[in-house]
Structure 1
Amino acid sequence: MPARRAHAPELHKRILDATRTLLDEINFDALTVADILTAAQVSRASFYFYFPSKQAVLGELVRAAVGQGQDAAEPYLDPDGDPIDGLRHGIRTGANLWRENAGVLVAIVDAWQSDADLRALWLAQMDTFTDATVARITADPRAMAYLEGHDIRAIAATLTWTGERLYYLAAAEVPPFDDDKTLIDALTHSWTSTLYGIATPRS
């Protein structure tokens, strides 16, 4: 009986799944298309039918992970919710997201400054979080009163990029941020002290 022929969507998924798994074990710089072909059990022609490069595979994986991150931020972005409770929930969910996608997200942070396409992708993805943070701050009278006279977008970008760096360190298992409680407390304090001039109780 002949072997079952893989359908196109299955091949595409196998390439993504194999790359995701490999990135948990291999640095992106060391990863080769040949590694992906072997792990995914697809031909070189099949790979290049879907992706022009390993960078393009990483880009698709990053977009999927960031989509999950945007969902995680919803409690904070809800103008009817308590912003501090929403912040802590979003930061905790974000920490879980980075841990679950550690290989992919560490790879993009390591690679975006040396590849023009990945640079454009990561800056655009980070801008979505900065844009959302600006919208939430400007809808929060308490934060706006405290930040009067400050450049709101600069504040929002500072907070989102600080989060990116600390999540990266946590995903790379760098102390003290490899401890979830320490990470969540530090980021929550950073946000609340910046936006409201207050400290929050540690979790």
Structure 2
Amino acid sequence: MTKSWPSRRTAPAVRKGDLRERQILDAAETLLVTRGYADMTVSDIAAAAGLTRGALYFYFASKQDVLIALVARTVQALQEKSAAASTATGPVEEVVSTTLERTAALWREHGPVMRAAVDLSSTVPDIDELWTGTADVFAEAIAAVLQRAGTPPGDGPGDAAALGHALCWMIERTFYQATRTSDDGLDDATQTCRTVWLHVMNTGSAG
């Protein structure tokens, strides 16, 4: 079961603090693009958000905490896309295409955050929990689509669950590599992942 990351940003009523946190996270995401995580500082984030360094510490204890919250915000959008894929009722080929296109759109919009999550998940447990938990949700959604196409639902290497996890991590790595220098290759990466997913799906249903 995926952990639900606690945050005041998810409260029904948006308070002043929520808006301030959003400004901080937006500033940090911009700095990830222009400077990268290693080079940006708490002072940089505070200045970009229009705050003093001391005021930022009221909301976040460190630069790492800012990034964790930024990753949490981004993976929430990823999980929503995954949930849509697992409950979609259209033709499976269209579900595959739509799911990959929506995922690619998130990589275009939030690529620096998502690459930072990949890069830091091995050393920051909170980010690893968020990223891996989201991957599990995405893998389950892929498995659901595979099962609709006739792939066996068991736990074997060729069954939907195992294939869903393999496809999930293939898509993550492919999109990660495609966006490292620019987004120009993301369309091709999306089509490649679609081809692989459909091939696995067709092979599984044939078996």
Provide the residue aligned with 1:178 in structure 2.
Answer: 184
Bigger Rg, which one:
1
**Which residue among 22, 41, 45 is the counterpart of 2:31?**
22
Q: What TM-score does the superposition give when structure 1 sets the normalisation length?
A: 0.80
1:50 is aligned to 2:56: no
Q: CA RMSD in A?
A: 2.5
How far is 1:141 from its partner?
Answer: 5.2
What is the alpha-carbon distance in structure 2 between the residues aligned to residue 98 and residue 108 of structure 1? 12
Partner of residue 169, structure 1: 177
Q: Provide the residue aligned with 1:67 in structure 2.
A: 76
- Using the TM superposition, give the Cα deviation of residue 42 of structure 1 relative to its aligned residue in structure 2, in angstroms: 1.4
Residue 137 of structure 2 is matched in structure 1 by 128
Residue type of the partner of 1:111? Answer: L
Kept after mapping to 2: 8 A contact 1:11/1:46:
no
Q: Give the AA of the match of 1:64.
A: R
Q: Corresponding residue for 1:188?
A: 194
Tell whether the 8 Å contact from 2:100 to 2:194 is kept in structure 1 after alignment.
yes
User: For residue 20 of structure 2, what is the aligned residue in structure 1?
Assistant: 11
Give the 5 Å matches for 1:106-121.
Answer: 106-121=115-130
Q: In 1, distance between residues paired with 2:161 and 2:64?
A: 30
- Residues 150-161 of structure 1 mapped to structure 2, 5 A cutoff: 150-161=158-169
Question: Aligned with 1:168: secondary structure?
Answer: helix
Give the SS at the match of 2:121.
Answer: helix
Size of the aligned set, in residue pairs, is 188
Q: CA deviation at 1:18?
A: 0.6
- The percent of aligned pairs where both chains have the same amino acid is 29
For 1:18, the aligned partner's letter is A
Compared CA separation, residues 131 and 56, structure 1 to 2 (3 A): farther
Q: Is the 8 A contact 1:55 1:118 kept in 2?
A: no
Structure-2-length-normalised TM-score: 0.79
1:86 aligns with 2:92: no
Residues in 2 aligned to 1:148 and 1:195: alpha-carbon distance in whole angstroms: 15
**Equivalent position of 2:49 in the other structure:** 40
Q: CA deviation at 1:148?
A: 7.7
Provide structure 1 residue ranges, at least 5 long, that are not aligned to the other structure: 1-6, 199-203
| Distance (Å, rounded) in 2 between the aligned partners of 1:13 and 1:80 | 35
